[in-house]
Structure 1
């Protein structure tokens, strides 16, 4: 008999190879089963992962599916779980599949629920009338969001529900809630600048945003603001944000410091100069400008501890009432109020949900630092906004929280015991060590998402956060709460000035670390497959507790290395053909024009801080030794690389010669009858959107288009090449531009 109680197998000779493999597989299987059983309490954490996988599957499809397959899959999986209920492993598999199918159904249902008209073409000089629901102040402009607009020369059934219009700051901004009339040029939301780039059209579809544009004159108020119902509450908070911005500007003379203070008080970071934003990004402090879990948690935590201390000072209340739970309730209410005051952007909604769960756990005498609470919050937020799961804000916030809880789950009780028995010196050291460890864990957890969405690494983020977070926690946020309490009485100026001292220190910290050598590094865009590997490995690493969790490092490291394995295109064409960029001999991009946001996006995805010199009107450049070359004259340009000749005509007169001699012809005009091997003209761009061309060393040429990458989905039905993105850019964080807020 073996030690496990099983009879030994008899053998007349040496074991066969197949038998050895079978026994090895059996031992591995038993070991995995033992690990799975030991992690029994963690399996429930994978339900939100399965739900999110179903959401990701829906968005990965190239064709919009019928409504019934997802519903049928949910029903079949639930039925299967009931049938195999005697076998726990089978029930777990059926439940996971049911959750994945549910995520698919929720995402598809949300896409259908928010369906609304989208502009199909650019409309110049349209007269637009609509109610202002948001006023966003930006450098040199104000961006208005209009609900239920009426657009001249456009039928009501084809009119979007929401529009965004940029208004010059030369004209006064209308109040929130007012009905305004303005003449504007409108366009559809911008399509991706290249295959794989951020899809603003998809984000706009789920926001209900059907068009963007810019005003050509002042906005005329034709009806007073509405102050009734939920719309009236929204107007009140919008006015409160405007009042906060005005009082900050009156109390703080430095415009940069005033915009940072305003961002922390009312969530408006659009007015912060781009140079300051770059300093915060390059120093790893950009998260301090975006109202997130840190700010909501600090605001709720301060009120929780202050109120608890005040109630504890009154013996009659402290002895008769559960003051800790009362303080937690007011902490939840303060988080809700803060969220509404800063405009309730999606990241803040997620943050207040997390804060509410923590305070709720305190009220129920449960551990507030629980991975199950994070799992529930993730499930709830994905269900509320499935498309938001694809954005950097959701991914980075939940990655940081999940990694921090995974890192502190084990030593949490031991650290609490140390703090309880320690003196003030040791407590201070524990706090500093906690901030340092928190910064390291959060930085490592969010690094892959920063690389995927922004192609950037901030090397001094740990050190800068070690300075900036205590200033924010112990100085800036307490004074912000005092400023809030003082504003109804007009006494906020001293609190705002004191708060600004802390903001000034944070701005200096950002500038100092951003100015150091190697403060940040940019890399080429990470491929989707590499990003998926990083996400899968990171989830595996955080959700398990046994040693097999470290297997998750393998896909994480493989995904981080993936940008080095995928080459960038040699030639890029914008969706309207107005901008073309080619790769030079040193690997950088040279564009036909400055190109605005399009060229900036290409440059960022290339991992370059600046673009190469634009094309000359006449002449050109050559890399030598058979490398890329560009030759231009009055009628067009010719680009040569890796044995390919690409004609880039500027005038129709060049088409006859180019079509017969070049391997490919790229033009923003119409090229009927062109016999080139590859033709990209106006009609091709309208149907397929932006193009990329990649040349192989063996003479091959790979062509990718936005339509091929996205497929035909509800948000792509208006065509891929028509969006110009007018009004969609402007100052603001790259998370703002990525998520279209």
Structure 2
């Protein structure tokens, strides 16, 4: 007699609950089946972000094992179920992201300079980046016959020292070199990570003249450099700098004042070659080719006009991307444009979130580290927001063509442009606050004027001017371009100077930023009522940012610069002569949009030639001000009476503060600091203890300070 198998589950209540959960998820996913594929780039990006956020090899390995368990869980749910496939493929894609960026970081590994040095060497110029607005030129060099130097360096020199250096030339220089700097304050820009993936092992400045070979100066500059120089010769000042940025991607000619006004007004996206510019080039090229090719009866009757016009537009987009430097937003925009052209030829809907997802996947597979940069995040977030808005049924109904007066149609177009700008500003605000600690509030209004002005006036007029310059007839179009650009700059300054134009907040905790991003993606990528479940996480993340306290004291990674809260919402600097870059970095980390005062000018601060002493939140602060060495016995009592002691040099062993002693030794491990002096006091560091990312523990070279001749080898 056959034995009946036991059919009753061991845990019937839990099994029933799990079955109901799976069934409910299947019903939800069935309604959203067209949207599931949009989460593939999100999973890939989550793996990349996790590797960048987690500090050690043990964490990365543990995450991979956890994702492997997730794959098994998906298979256990069932490959025949959407939920099971989604969990398995999602975990597998996330694991791919971890391995991709980990492998990329190891693949690009190169030695890094160990300490600052002054040395002479010969080098081959790899790239020249003019910065005329700062009267500087930036060089990417490969040293020759110097095994003690990194294989790639980035140097800055004055334009007077440049004398027409071009890529491929060999030069001899004497320079002060230093390792790529890490973030000077918590939440600041970490150039060391960017330099690692770019293969740059040291940065510095050129000292003295540049030695060049006898044949130097006879080489022709690259097309991009020649185009930029030609544009700036036609239009001086920032107008020429913006025109050069639109034509070649070279933003070095824009003054810092005008660039800051563009950022504060929400118009900075016009300076970075991205979707707006590539779309204008591709669309204009396709329109012109359609008109010209349609003149041929043979092509028109055989149906080849659209195909040839699309091919020509694709070539124009690829050429424009190459000419402007192939930055991540430009590559993304070019890929999107090419996919749109292919979709048009296949008779498919061209602009969809699937296209945006495909572009994101390609860029992350090509350069996974780009995910961490604001350029990638802002460009894809903006495009996804635009597409999601215009896929909405109510927005489509509002924009549908209809018989109406021109004035009404114009007003409807302006309203649509304003709504699009508003959605973009809301989408980009968390990203801007996380990376730059500030976000423009009036960008939606400014873009209503700026985007049409750039798309329909500035870019076509500049293209016509460049084309007609070949026969000497470009002057009228340069006049139009210059006046339109002056109007754009004036608009940026007017909006930037409006009270309340910029929201500034202190450091955005990375985990809260992650919660906000997840909520935003949930709203953008799902449809129907299900999407609004992401509103809670998005608002929670922003609420955490809004309630984030401002630091009481900020200390840069070198210990030289200290900023203390003054109690009236402002901050005061220990060293009043600190440069603009340091002041801007301090203001961003503090979350303020106001000038920083001098600490020594405050009534409650006592300073002598060696130290400044003050009381803040009932805690005594002592900060080194002078450069002279002070004996340990003389400092012992002062340090013991202070809660916090800060110095940019090594402090004697006798100097011990009641809570925290900060000197060169401790700063080497912590980097910059943000101190919160409430009870209990806490310190947030720029560097994490035990961080095992390759750029934190690179192979180091000494860069011996040797008297090496700067003779230039033969070309």
TM-score normalised to structure 1 length? 0.84
Deviation by residue 1:82-134 (Cα, 9 ceiling, x = unmatched): 77434442222111100000000001011011111111111124335232412
Partner of 2:597 in structure 1? Answer: 613
Aligned mates of 1:42, 1:185 — CA distance in 2: 54
Alignment of 1:58 with 2:51, yes or no, is yes
User: C-alpha distance in 2, partners of 1:344/1:483?
Assistant: 24
Partner of residue 308, structure 1: 290
Aligned mates of 1:240, 1:706 — CA distance in 2: 41
Distance (whole Å) between structure 2 residues aligned to residue 99 and residue 129 of structure 1 = 42
In the alignment, the residues of structure 1 paired with residue 453 and residue 227 of structure 2 have an alpha-carbon distance, to the nearest angstrom, of 22
Matches within 5 A, 1:674-689: 674=654, 675-677=656-658, 678-689=660-671
Q: Is the 8 A contact 1:177 1:226 kept in 2?
A: no
1:366-381 pair list within 5 angstroms: 366-381=348-363
Paired with 1:316 and 1:90, the residues of 2 have a C-alpha distance of 54
What's the CA shift for 1:411? 3.7
1:603 aligns to what? 587
- The 2-side partners of 1:388 and 1:58 are apart by 13
Structure 1 residue 272: Cα displacement: 0.9
Residues 1:565 and 2:547 are matched in the alignment: yes
Distance 2:60 2:508 in 1: 33
User: Does the CA contact (< 8 Å) of 1:134 and 1:145 recur in 2?
Assistant: yes
**2:110–2:699 contact (8 Å) kept in structure 1:** no
Of 198-207 and 586-595, the range deviating more from structure 2:
586-595
Q: Which residue of 2 aligns with 1:652?
A: 630
What is the alpha-carbon distance in structure 2 between the residues aligned to residue 72 and residue 455 of structure 1? 36
Q: Quick check: 1:143–1:164 contact (8 Å CA) kept in 2?
A: no
Distance 1:112 1:601 in 2: 31
What is the correspondence of 1:530-545 to structure 2 with a 5 Å cutoff?
A: 530-545=512-527
Q: Which residue of 1 aligns with 2:712?
A: none
What's 1:150 paired with?
A: 144
Work out the CA distance in 1 between the residues paired with 2:317 and 2:690. 38
Task: Give 3-state SS (helix, strand or coil) of 1:708's partner.
Answer: coil
User: 2:152 maps to what in 1?
Assistant: 162
**Residue in 2 aligned with 1:672?**
652
Alpha-carbon distance between aligned partners in 2 of 1:187 and 1:277, rounded to the nearest angstrom: 27
- Aligned 1:164-179 pairs, distance under 5 A: 164-171=154-161, 172-179=163-170
Is 1:245 equivalent to 2:235 in the alignment?
no
User: Is residue 697 of structure 2 the alignment partner of residue 717 of structure 1?
Assistant: yes
1:181-235 residue CA offsets vs partner (Å, 9 max, x unmatched): 22111111111112222211111111111111111123232376899xxxxxxx9
2:198 to 207, 218, 222: 207
Q: CA deviation at 1:588?
A: 2.5
List aligned pairs for 1:252-401, cutoff 5 A. Answer: 252=235, 254-401=236-383
**What is residue 96 of structure 1 aligned with on the other side?**
90
Secondary structure of the corresponding residue to residue 165 of structure 1: strand
State the partner residue of 1:48. Answer: 41
Contact 1:120 1:718 in 2 (8 A): no
Pairwise CA distance, 1:476 = 1.3
**Equivalent residues in 2 for 1:65-84, closer than 5 Å:** 65=58, 84=78
| Residues 555-564 or 73-82, more deviating | 73-82
Query: 1:559, 1:417 → 2: CA distance?
Result: 33
**TM value normalised by structure 2:** 0.87
Greater mean alpha carbon deviation, residues 258-267 or residues 201-210: 258-267
Cα distance in 1 for partners of 2:548, 2:307 equals 54
Gaps of 5+ in 1: 1-17, 228-234, 623-629, 723-741
Give the secondary structure class of the aligned counterpart of 1:639: strand
Task: Give the secondary structure class of the aligned counterpart of 2:293.
Answer: helix
Say whether the 8 Å CA contact 2:46–2:97 is kept in structure 1: yes
| Aligned mate of 1:120, from 114, 127, 130 | 114
1:411-450 aligned within 5 A:
411=393, 414=396, 418-419=400-401, 427-450=409-432
How far apart are residue 240 of structure 1 and its match?
A: 1.8
Give, in whole Å, the separation in 1 of the partners of 2:34 and 2:223: 46
Question: The residue matched to 1:146 in structure 2 has which SS?
Answer: strand
Quick check: 1:70–1:105 contact (8 Å CA) kept in 2?
no
Deviation at 1:298, TM superposition (A): 0.7
Aligned to 2:128: 134
SS at match of 1:41: coil
- Give the whole-Å Cα distance in 2 for the aligned partners of 1:169 and 1:452: 34
What 5-or-longer segments of structure 2 have no aligned partner?
1-11, 703-715
Q: Aligned pair in 2 of structure 1 residues 416, 135: CA closer, same or farther (>3 Å)?
A: same
- Give distance in 2, aligned partners of 1:290 and 1:572: 31
Residue by residue, what CA displacement relative to the aligned partner does 1:479-500 show, whole Å, maximum 9, x if unpaired?
2322343355555444333322
Alpha-carbon separation, structure 1, partners of 2:317 and 2:367 = 20
CA distance in 1, matches of 2:516, 2:210: 48
**In structure 1, the residue corresponding to 2:277 is in which secondary structure?**
helix
| Alpha carbons 1:192, 1:199 under 8 Å: kept | yes
Helix, strand or coil at the partner of 1:541 = helix
CA contact (8 A) 1:81 1:91 kept: yes
Counterpart residue number, 1:725: none
Q: Are 1:637 and 2:612 an aligned pair?
A: yes
The whole-number CA distance in structure 2 between the counterparts of 1:49 and 1:559 is 18
Distance in 2 between residues matched to 1:572 and 1:607, nearest whole Å: 12
- 1:190 paired residue number: 181
Deviation per residue, 1:232-276 (Å, 9 max, x gap): xxx98x622222233223323x42322222221111112211221
**Counterpart residue number, 2:212:** 221
Matched residues in 1 for 2:454 and 2:397: separation? Answer: 23
Kindly provide the CA deviation profile for residues 430-483 of structure 1, in whole angstroms up to 9, marking residues without a partner as x: 433332222122222212212222222323222211111111111111123223
Report the secondary structure of 1:167's partner residue: strand
> For residues 491 and 264 of structure 2, what CA distance do their matches in structure 1 show?
11
Please tell me whether the aligned partners of residues 133 and 256 of structure 2 are also in contact (alpha carbons under 8 angstroms): no
How far apart in 2 are the matches of 1:431 and 1:218?
57
* Shift in alpha-carbon separation, 1:226–1:65, aligned structure 2, 3 A: farther
Post-superposition shift, 1:406? Answer: 0.9
Q: Is the 8 A contact 1:179 1:223 kept in 2?
A: no
The CA distance in 1 between the partners of 2:351 and 2:436, in whole Å, is 30
1:707 to 687, 696, 701: 687
Q: Which moved more, 1:663-672 or 1:161-170?
A: 663-672
SS in 2 for 1:517: coil
SS in 2 for 1:284: coil
Query: Separation in 2 of the partners of 1:440 and 1:635?
Result: 52
Shift of 1:62: 1.3
Contact 1:193–1:598 at 8 Å: present in 2 too?
no
Residue by residue over 1:596-630, the C-alpha shift from the partner in whole angstroms, topping out at 9 and shown as x without a partner, is 323321211222123432232xx7522xxxxxxx3
Specify the SS of the correspondent of 1:471: helix
Kept in 2, the 8 Å contact 1:196–1:709? The answer is: no
- Report the alpha carbon displacement of residue 61 of structure 1 after superposing the two structures with TM: 1.2
Q: Tell me the CA shift for residue 676 of structure 1.
A: 3.2
